[in-house]
Amino acid sequence: MWDQQKEVNTKQKNKMTKNERTMTIEKTDKKIIKEKNKSPVNKDGTYQEIAKNNKEIREETKNLSSQKDSEAKEQKADPKKKKTKSNKTEAIVRGYNLPISTKDSAAICKFIRNKKIEKAIADLENVALHKKAIPMKREIPHRKGKGISSGRYLDKSVEYFIKLLKSLNANSNANELEGPIITQAIANIGKRPYGRFGRTRKKRTHVLIKAEKKTKWKRKK
């Protein structure tokens, strides 16, 4: 009996040792697989170390973020620092296929030209209130006011021009122009679609307005 028990115990020990061996082999295999997944294989069969590269990238991003934070703090501390001025010397605004007459818009362009943007807006607002008339040629009745022989008020077209001039003023402020003057104001015929049953053609105009920096005018010799 004693001998039989010894044999059973030895068999159990041998089984335990085999199980332990298989466990250790599986653990080592898992470690190898993880290392292979972390580091890809080159052509030579060597493994690259990505962890170091990731650390370097993180350090660089931290340095850049710290520099930006320091610059922002300096700007807040010293708001009087000079900002980089834009090199642009003009501002442009365009209106395509506006539902207004080309004849009226040409008269408004002539009325606006060689004026400051703010003054042009104020004059057009007075025209909308019927305090001032836009001078026009041909057989048109005379209007009240100094220096105006014949003219009209043109309420609809004036509204569109006021919107364009306001956007031009915003563009000139964005380009940091000092005292801009309207140098160009052009009106051309746009694409005129047909009305109902193709009997009439509707009014459409393209408008271009350009403002430039105020410079000292010199007479040519």
Per-residue pLDDT tens digits for 97-127 = 999 999 999 999 999 999 999 999 999 999 9
CB 211 within 8 A of CB 117: yes
The pTM for the full model equals 0.58
* Helix, strand or coil, per DSSP, at residue 51: helix
Give the residue among 150, 145, 173, 160 at the shortest CA–CA distance from 112.
160
SS3 121: helix
- The one-letter code for the residue type at 6 is K
Give tens-digit pLDDT for 38-76: 555 555 544 455 555 555 666 777 676 777 677 666 666
CATH no., domain 90-212: 3.90.470.10
CA angle 153, 158, 161 (to 5 degrees): 155
Mean pLDDT check: name the lowest of 16-30, 34-48, 139-153, 204-218.
34-48
Number of H helices and number of E strands within the chain? Answer: 5, 5
Q: Catalogue the E-assigned strands of 38-171.
A: 90-98, 134-135, 151-152
Question: What type of residue is 39?
Answer: S
Q: Is 162 exposed, middle or buried (0-12, 13-18, 19+ CB in 10 A)?
A: middle
Can you tell me which residue has the tokens 């140098």? 183
- The per-residue pLDDT for range 73-95, each reduced to its tens digit, is 666 655 555 555 567 889 999 99
**Per-residue pLDDT, 167:** 94
Among candidate residues 25, 23, 43, 27, the one with its CA nearest the CA of residue 35: 27
Q: Within 13 Å and on the Cβ side, how many CA atoms surround 190? A: 21
Question: Does residue 37 have a pLDDT over 60?
Answer: no
User: Across the beta sheet with 90-98, what order do the strands follow?
Assistant: 90-98, 205-212, 181-189
Domain segments of the chain as ranges: 90-212
